[in-house]
Amino acid sequence: MNPIIECVPNFSEGRDLRVLDEISAAISSTEGVRLLHRDPGKATNRTVYTFVGHPEAVVEAAYRAISVATRLIDMRQHQGEHARMGATDVCPFIPISGISMEETVAYSRTLAKRVGEELNIPVYLYEASATHPSRRNLADIRAGEYEGLPAKMQDPDWKPDFGPAVFNPQSGATVVGARPYLVAYNVNLNTPSVRLANSVAFDVREAGRVKREGHPITGKVVQDETGQPVRIPGTLKAVKAVGWYIEEYKTAQISMNLTDLSQTPLHIAFDEVVRAATARGIRVTGSELVGLVPLICLTDSGRHFLRKMGRSEGVSEKELIECAVRTMGLSELSPFHPEERIIEYKMAAASDQRLIHLSLSDLSDETASESPAPGGGSISAAVGALAAALGAMVANLSAGKRGWEAHFERFSVLARECQSYKEALLKKVDEDTFAFYGIMNAFSLPKSTPEEQLHRRNCIELATDEAIRVPLETMKQAFACLEPIRELIENGNPNSVSDVGVALLCIRSAIYGAWMNVTINAASLADQKKAADYRRDADALLQDCLKLEPVLLDAVRTKLGG
């Protein structure tokens, strides 16, 4: 797997489009990098960029962007609602795939060293890249902000990790590091009061609030035996939060950073803010996400809210996202477009909009054309996906049937299983066509020299192996879907037995069709032992299907009264 990292630099400029466009151009012009999102804020006077790519390309793009910010942003003129200490305030690297956190740390330090030495900017390392525990927390490094840097940098404990230990009045200082996904999330309140917003923020954030005697604001701070303030912890782990007022929205917000989604997912943060706000007589009116978020944030949130409504969770990915967006009011301040805000969707290149994104009419036309692909393998996978979709429908109808509440959880699980098989089989629709073109491309390679001939043979063998693996996986996914289909035939909504019967027939067709593709491609594999293993696995799956399918079909006929 090619290593991919994400970079989410925050620049202290959110109003001057000329500056923002130059930073965008610096990132986009770097080969091997894709700029996914730019999120400017006028009130905060800050812009968050998100780009991904190979680690070395990401380091280069980050350096180019920081160079532009160093040249065009003057911190002596900067004013904004967000805490900041430099033109490039913070530049985190996040491992996405094919790379460890330790390797990502090494790349972050490469960037920090270059920025410090070549741009003469003081650079501090934070999070996983930190050189000392006292520097892991961004808030600790940024304490005092830009205005406090001259005094801070005279303290030996705050000597920069890279770059000069001298205050840079134009650019300030920069923080660089590697960290897990951080979700920046703001919850909107029906009040302009920053004091009330902070009260809610202190209720929920992990750091909580300082304990006071008497009045919660003006009372004397309680200290422990070492003289340190005693803190009352908040209710949410791995959450940083503060209240602020946003002029452009005319409302106060709880601004949160969710630093570990495994401890506090997005939906839990939302629910807890709603609870804390309600307890103080405040109403949550919506929320907003800053930058991009992982898909799982919204799908998990959708499932959570569906559970609270007593609805089945076995709906499509699209429906899960829509439920999350509606429930948390993510479109209250501006429209929330999943294709622009979910990182997995943005990472998909234009070429990824393939067969499964065609209309049924267009897919039929594409299949009917003179092109040999999509062919039987892709159509087998598509038929299997439709079978799983029918299974999910019947499970959801059964879960929602009045009087069947005792069986709700089981049908919800079956619906989710069918949805997972549907998604897996949909991927095989395109993968099968790509595998076919992989063989065609391999056969078109040059063969003038012995070296070219050897390379061509190896490529043909690898491509043929892939053209067998994909339909074999289609068979496995389709066969696995027979188990929830069997249970739905036996126990599902009797009014939908014909639908689950059609799903059964589609599964049989998907398995038989994919078996044909495994068999025909295995004949071309040079490694005949491997080919025999593939054929054996495919034959076993087909035979198991042919034994089970008539039994289940008889059960359908019985339910139909035939």
Q: Determine which one of 82, 260, 455, 544 is catalytic.
A: 82
Q: Which helix (H) or strand (E) holds 540?
A: helix 528-560
Q: Which helix (H) or strand (E) holds 11?
A: strand 10-11
Q: Tell me how far apart the alpha carbons of residues 90 and 49 are, in angstroms, rounded to a whole number.
A: 11
Q: Tell me how far apart the alpha carbons of residues 61 and 370 are, in angstroms, rounded to a whole number.
A: 43
224 near 260, Cβ under 8 Å? no
277 near 189, Cβ under 8 Å? yes
37 as an active site residue: the answer is no
Complete DSSP assignment for 414-470:
HHHHHHHHHHHHHHHHHHHHHHHHHHHHHHTS--SSHHHHHHHHHHHHHHHHHHHHH
Q: Tell me how far apart the alpha carbons of residues 162 and 91 are, in angstroms, rounded to a whole number.
A: 14
**DSSP H helical ranges for 73-148:** 101-118, 138-142
163 near 120, Cβ under 8 Å? yes
Residue with tokens 């009352």: 232
- State how beta strands 46-53 and 33-41 pair: antiparallel
Beta bridge partners of 88: 11
Q: Examine residue 374 and say whether the peptide bond preceding it is cis (omega within 30 degrees of 0).
A: yes
Q: Determine which one of 39, 271, 430, 432 is catalytic.
A: 432
- Across 144-261, where does the E strand assignment appear? 174-178, 183-189, 209-210, 212-213, 220-221, 231-232, 239-246, 251-258
Q: Tell me how far apart the alpha carbons of residues 86 and 12 are, in angstroms, rounded to a whole number.
A: 7
74 as an active site residue: the answer is no
- Residue 359: helix, strand or coil by DSSP? coil
451 near 445, Cβ under 8 Å? no
Give 371's DSSP letter: S
69 near 173, Cβ under 8 Å? no
Q: Tell me how far apart the alpha carbons of residues 494 and 503 are, in angstroms, rounded to a whole number.
A: 15
- State how beta strands 88-97 and 46-53 pair: unpaired
Beta bridge partners of 287: 187
- Across 284-332, where does the E strand assignment appear? 284-290
- Residue 280: helix, strand or coil by DSSP? coil
273 near 254, Cβ under 8 Å? yes
What residues are annotated to the active site?
82, 432
